[in-house]
Amino acid sequence: MNIAAPNPSHPRVFASPLARRLAKEGGLDLSSLTGSGPHGRIIERDVKSALAGGPRKAAAEPISLSEAPSLETTRKYYAADSYEEVPHDSMRKAIARRLTESIQTVPHFYLDVDCEIDALLRLREEFNAAAPKRADGSPEWKTSVNDYIVKTLALALQRVPEANVTFTPEAMLKHKASDIGVAVAIPGGLITPIIRNAQAKTVREISDEVRELAGRARERKLKPQEYEGGVSAVSNLGMYGIKNFSAVINPPQSTILAVGKGEQRMVVKNGAPTVATIMSVTLSCDHRAVDGALGAELLAAFKTLIEQPMGLFA
């Protein structure tokens, strides 16, 4: 396959071969489209959706990073020998485009709640302690708090099915399964492999799958179908000591749960002060799909399940 040299005045458009053929046959300018495929790639459904809208009088302005100060402009603020210039790789560029697209086109709002997780921590400790030993002495399983959070979010979406949706301009897609993305930091960026049918899997199955997908993600061996789609996601920075934060939704998902550190805090129970382990979570919602009351209902279902974790095994 011949690849043309990049032309600064005509940025390269990332599109599948089928999308290019359909666009050529329909007289459609691919640069006018925003891709819904992995890393913003234009795929068949993007072209068909655009063609279904009828002839275009003018190409829409594609989302780009050109509004940020240029490299040349930014250099002027710093001494020439005070920094190292590291060119962006394709993953960093794709992440920047996708997040720019998300924050510009998805109307975000945020809800947060504190969850008491002492019961969850005890359950996890007992579950891990029950794991039989392999020949080398290692346990057959070792679940993380994040594995329980993925399971909890999946079940909460089942309890609040109106939030288990994807917005499109023509219709709302109401999903039967809760496919949950798990944010994984890899060299040069971030990727979110999807746990399919997470509501139907055990915590141990989720744990094994997350570990396997994360390993292949760091080796950049994931297939597109393993990180495309999903209805929601979990982004956990608690292991870095972060107390709370807000995450950016990864389209076509409608929500993402940002998870902070579990820490001991003074709380009041039955009118008396006591110490409990508290974890703060923030739910980012696409207001087109999940409004305030619905988002609050979803977060309340999550809080109930995470604080009464035996429900995860029901």
Active site residue 39: no
Q: Is the dihedral of CA 284, 287, 290, 293 positive or negative?
A: positive
Contact 251, 284 (CB under 8 A): no
Q: What pLDDT score does 3 carry?
A: 42
Q: What is the pLDDT of residues 75-90, one digit of tens each?
A: 888 988 898 998 888 7
Helix extents (H) in 109-188: 118-129, 145-159
As a whole number, mean pLDDT of residues 1-5 equals 43
CA distances in angstroms from 195 to 14, 277, 313, listed in the order given: 26, 27, 18
Q: What pLDDT score does 31 carry?
A: 78
Q: For the chain, what is the mean pLDDT?
A: 88
Q: What pLDDT score does 86 carry?
A: 87
Using pLDDT thresholds of 50, 70 and 90, give the confidence band for residue 173: very high
As a whole number, mean pLDDT of residues 7-35 equals 75
As a whole number, mean pLDDT of residues 33-53 equals 79
Q: What pLDDT score does 61 carry?
A: 47
Say whether pLDDT at 268 is over 80: yes
Say whether pLDDT at 141 is over 60: yes
Q: Which two tokens stand for residue 34?
A: 């925003």
What's the whole-model pTM score? 0.77
Of the residues 10, 88, 175, 287, only one is catalytic, namely: 287
Query: φ and ψ at 191, to 5 degrees?
Result: -140, 155
Contact 5, 12 (CB under 8 A): no
